[in-house]
Amino acid sequence: MSGALERLHGLDSDLSGVTALVAGLGVSGFAAADALLERGARVRVVDDRAPAEGTPAAERAHLLDVFGAELVVGGDPDPDALVRTDRGAVDLVVASPGWRPTHPVLRAADGTGAAVWGEVELAWRLQGGDAGPPWLTVTGTNGKTTTVELLGAVLTAAGLRARTAGNIGTPLVDAVRDPAGADVLAVELSSFQLHLVRTVSPHAATCLNLAPDHLDWHGGPDAYRDAKARVYERTKVAAVFNVADPATEAMVREADVVEGCRAVGVGPGAPRVGEVGVVEGLLVDRAFIEERAHAAVELGALDDLVGLAGVADPAQVPAHVVANALAAAALARSLGVPATAVRDGLRAASLPPHRAATVATAGGVRWVDDSKATNPHAADASLAALDDVVWVAGGLAKGATYDDLVARHAARLRAVVLVGADRELVAQALGRHAPDVPVVRVDPPDTAGVAAPDDERARALMDRVVAAAAGLARPGSTVLLAPAAASMDQFTSYVARGEAFAAAVLRLTGPGQRP
């Protein structure tokens, strides 16, 4: 790392003399470039695609041009030339999460000796590391956003100025630069972001679960697992793991944590010493109390989660909702949050959109939007909570396979409606493990990125999906959009996919059927 770059330690850092390349014109790339320019760095911003006129990306490009960045967008420039300036090699490359490590520009940067960070690492250094607010970091194949939302609600109930940031939406660079400040940051981290973390030292951290995902990006399950495990590196107080997922405990055992950091297990059963769990419908803590060898403190109850889970009976709260609540509680307790704040925060919280949300109930058929189920592990949780399902599935598989998922839930399936580019992977698994389940394919399988849920193509596609599902459902059935795949073959995001589905359902059932 260059001497000039070593001056980056806090918001008042002077980066004049630093040359930086920001790879990607997304939200996090814009935040990184803006922060570097603000501190006097020379910044070049590179993106493979030129932004379309009138889009948010075009607006970001215009602003960076005004701020003095050099923009290189679209075309096919020489990667080696991009990582060099008239002063020699750039000092720093900040890679947006969507850029694979094998991208030619990042490979070229590796050969120059430049520091290669992600926006998360830049944010940690901008806040001066431990000089800024503590970070409570959350990763996992599924449940990250829900857990961070729950954590934010609990921290707020404790009277803390809490910010949720990272993969949840707000770039961490913007969070640490916020003039309003914060007492603590609840941070969602994807495997892409963790891949480029170098010095982040969280107060407490958790990996909620591990299942194959993003194998196309990482190159295989071992690299994906290793990226997730980085969440625990340099953790100071509590490394929280899922007792029901041995892979997460193994990550904690292998992590290089700060001396004195404790391993804290969370799970749905009665907790052992040093764990947070459930006893007779109560969420209890045997990890963060002095008398934990012989006693436990009540943090809340399954009753407090019924609103979050959208059920009437505490016994029906899905296991993954309980697991997310326990993880959020443990992270908050590591910071000294009182037990009453955990209860109040869980009661006040609500699920983010497109996570097992009931869209409508009509003619005895329930329509559920779980568009956020972008991999088989997430779809497994949705399917496990239901019987008599018309399953809407398919999209971009990202290297996933579907045999285990289909075999586990074949008896629940009334029928399946398949969409998306990799739908035949699901169809083949159905043929092997549920050959008697009716399957309907809805065309086209690829719409080259529908821009918005009200786009004509999106509307037509989802109207066909909903019509097919309605023809297969019977009173007592649930039509479940849980694609077990990413959305970018047909939609710009899982949000756009879920909104298009919900709009089509309401066109069919009528707005008066909203739950």
- pLDDT, residue 198, reads 93
CATH number, residue 91? 3.40.50.720
Query: Residue 425 sits in a domain of what CATH number?
Result: 3.90.190.20
Q: Are residues 142 and 286 in the same domain?
A: yes
Please report, for the domain that includes residue 287, its CATH number: 3.40.1190.10
> Given 348, 367, 395, which residue is the final one in a domain?
348
Single out the residue in 85, 113, 141 at which a domain terminates. 113
pLDDT for residue 3: 65
Q: Which of 278-282, 425-429, 508-512 has the lowest mean pLDDT?
A: 508-512
Indicate the residue type of 440. V
Domain that includes residue 199, residue range: 128-348
Residues 248 and 267: their CA atoms lie apart, in Å, by 12
Find out whether 143 is annotated in a ligand binding site. Answer: yes
For 208-247, how does the pLDDT look when each residue is reduced to its tens digit (9 = 90+)?
998 866 666 666 788 888 999 999 999 999 999 999 999 9
Q: Does 146 appear as a known binding residue?
A: yes
Phi, psi of 255 (to 5 degrees): -70, 145
Claim to verify: residue 132 and residue 107 sit in the same structural domain: no
Residues 330 and 248: beta-carbon distance below 8 Å: no
**C-alpha to C-alpha distances, 100 to 24, 31, 153, 204, 397, nearest whole angstrom:** 11, 19, 33, 28, 17
What are the structure tokens assigned to 170, written together? 């707000």
CB 248 within 8 A of CB 141: no
Please give the pLDDT value at position 42. 96
In a domain, 123, yes or no: no
Kindly state whether residues 233 and 330 are assigned to the same domain: yes
141 annotated to bind ligand: yes
Please check whether residue 515 lies inside any domain of the structure: no
Burial class (CB in 10 A: 0-12, 13-18, 19+), 96: buried
Does 6 fall in a domain? Answer: no
Mean pLDDT on 28-41:
96
Q: Are residues 87 and 162 in the same domain?
A: no
Range 165-189 average pLDDT: 93
Share above pLDDT 90 across residues of the chain, in percent, rounded to a whole number: 67
Asked if 147 and 88 sit in the same domain, the reply is no
pLDDT digits (tens, 9 = 90+) for 425-447: 999 999 999 999 999 999 876 65
Q: Does residue 309 fall inside a structural domain?
A: yes
The answer to whether residues 303 and 233 belong to one domain is: yes
306 falls within a domain: yes
Tell whether 101 and 141 lie within a shared domain: no
Residue 2 lies in a domain: no
Domains identified in the chain, total number: 3
Nearest to 92 by CA among 67, 72, 117, 71: 117
Dist. CA 237–CA 494, nearest whole Å: 35
Query: Are 344 and 386 part of one and the same domain?
Result: no
374 is in an annotated binding site: no
What are the two backbone dihedrals, phi and then psi, of residue 484, each rounded to the nearest 5 degrees?
60, 25
228 annotated as ligand-binding: no
Same domain, residue pair 228 and 338: yes
pLDDT in tens, 349-389: 876 677 778 888 899 999 999 998 998 988 988 898 888 99
- Residue 474 belongs to some domain of the structure: yes
Q: Say whether 142 counts as a known binding-site residue.
A: yes
Is residue 225 a contact partner of residue 207, using CB atoms and an 8 Å limit? no
- Among the three residues 90, 113, 136, which one is the final residue of a domain in this structure? 113
Q: What is the pLDDT of residue 169?
A: 78
What's the rounded Cα separation, in Å, for the pair 418 and 284? 42
User: CB neighbours of 180 closer than 8 A, spacing ≥ 6?
Assistant: 161
Whether residues 327 and 370 share a domain: the answer is no
Tell me if 4 is assigned to some domain: no
